[in-house]
Chains A and B, each alone.
Chain A
Amino acid sequence: MAAGSGAPAESCVGQVVLPGDVLLLPAHPEDDGERLRLGAGAAPRGRLLCGPGLRRCPTGLLVTKCGLLRHRPAGGGAAGAAGGAYWVDSQQKRYVPVKGDHVIGIVTAKAGDVFKLDVGGSEQASLSYLAFEGATKRNRPNVQVGDLIYGQFLVANKDMEPEMVCIDSSGRSSGMGLIGQDGFLFKVSLGLIRKLLAPKCEIIQELSQLYPFELVLGMNGRIWVKAKTVQQTLIIVNILEACEYMTAEQRKQALAKLSGN
């Protein structure tokens, strides 16, 4: 049990961390002394974002998942939290509902005013029929069992059943709701989804040069693809499934073969 007293967080960035490790944060200003010196204008360091896989503990951050430690330095400007962010990049296939995540759900049951959706978690999520754009008691959305829905979580914690909605806080759908006809739904690991959703993802850029197609990525590991013909759809599906374990060159070779054909 060589737990150790903990290592400073900056030195572990990019390395494997295990649950139980303690990461020490740089000494923050202790109460009154330093704060007075900093004066009124200087906000000390902004808020630190403690992401998935990490928890707050009295001395710093406690790791709860194994994986690589990532860090985003402070000063994101409009992009996000002022102040840095730490999180653990881990591989997972099983999805745990998190509030605010956009996911693809499959309708399994209609129970009165509420649809039950399967999102790949331990429980089925519920979706009220009023949570669609322009839905009223008389004007119900046309959703049947077996349909695909793209929505976000409103409530998602370990004590309650997850709830989904298909509108955002201002009442607009902004792309959420029923996903159209045809297309192909398949499942990949959560790490690949995050890789694909990263800004400037090469895989997506290369695929977009091939044919016109439409893609919906759910944070629960589900991807829906639709292209003009069945063959094109299946090609895209196979590439997306395989690209997790291909290197960049292998991927470029495969795509070159396809565009050549």
Chain B
Amino acid sequence: MAGEVKTKLSKNLLRMKFMQRGLDSQTKKLLEEEEKKIISEEHWYLDLPDLKEKESFIIEERSFMPCEDLLYGRMSFKGFNPEVEKLMIQMNSKCKEEEIEVDDKMEADVSDEEMARRYETLVGTIGKKFLRKRDQRVLQDEDEDGDSNARPSKKAKKKFLKPQD
């Protein structure tokens, strides 16, 4: 008897979270879709045919700026207001990109070659700072082998001088 009659659970009960944990993902999706369908049937909607959106290649524009390529409205001449003059160059060159390249070249205070020379010597000098003491000694020897012979006495390795009693 118990096997034949299954107690029927209500829909609301089945919709509750604890009943759905055991379900597959697919059945969950099906249930969600059914719920959505129920809601959408009750909602009102416009029963119009789909309008085909024409691909319009005409853009309507009410401003004159893009049509005539007007310049920037603030101007200053003969150095009356240096900030405005800088602005003029900046804003008007946004339209014409040639001037931007010229400005970049002119703005470098140090030329590229000088930078390269500086770096060459800089790497060496900073690098010495991080050498171990033995290597520093070796470096010094190398440097001063090329120098005059007046130095060798100073360059002799300093031995421990025993204090004389």
Contact = CB atoms under 8 A, between A and B. Distances in A.
Interface of A: 25, 28, 44-52, 54-56, 61, 70, 72, 76, 78-81, 83, 85, 87, 98-102, 150, 174-175, 194, 197-199, 204, 207-208, 211-219, 226-228
Given A174-B91, A214-B80, A218-B73, A198 B56 contact: no
A52 B63 CA distance: 6
A73 B99 CA distance: 24
Contacts of B68: 72, 87, 194, 197-198
B91 A212 contact: no
29 contacts: A46-B57, A47-B57, A49-B59, A49-B61, A49-B67, A50-B58, A50-B60, A51-B61, A52-B61, A52-B63, A52-B64, A56-B60, A72-B68, A78-B96, A80-B69, A81-B59, A85-B66, A98-B62, A174-B87, A197-B68, A208-B77, A212-B79, A212-B80, A213-B76, A213-B80, A214-B77, A215-B76, A215-B77, A227-B80
Given A52-B63, A98-B63, A214 B57 contact: no
B67 A217 contact: no
B78 interface: yes
Nearest to B63: A98
Contacts of A48: 57-59
A219 B97 CA distance: 25
B70 interface: yes
Nearest to A153: B63
B31 interface: no
A208 B61 CA distance: 32
B59 A79 contact: no
Contact of A214 (B61, B62, B75, B97): B75
Contact of B63 (A54, A61, A101, A211): A101
Contacts of B91: 174-175
B74 interface: yes
Contacts of A80: 66-67, 69
Interface in B24-79: 56-79
Contacts of A174: 87, 90-91
Contacts of B79: 212
Secondary structure call for the B interface: loop
Contacts of A102: 72-73
B62 to A, nearest CB: 5
A99 B63 CA distance: 7
B81 interface: yes
B67 A150 contact: no
Contact of A85 (B56, B57, B67, B77): B67
B131 interface: no
Nearest to A76: B69
Contacts of B66: 49, 51, 80-81, 85
Contacts of B80: 212-214, 226-228
Contacts of A83: 57
Contacts of B84: 175, 214
A10 B56 CA distance: 19
Nearest to A35: B55
A79 B95 contact: yes
Contacts of B58: 25, 47-50, 56, 61
Contacts of A99: 62-63
A219 B90 CA distance: 20
B86 to A, nearest CB: 10
B61 to A, nearest CB: 5
A45 B57 contact: yes
| Interface-centre pick from B58, B61, B80, B81 (highest chain A CB count, 10 A) | B58
A185 to B, nearest CB: 14
A83 B90 CA distance: 26
Nearest to B71: A197
A63 B24 CA distance: 63
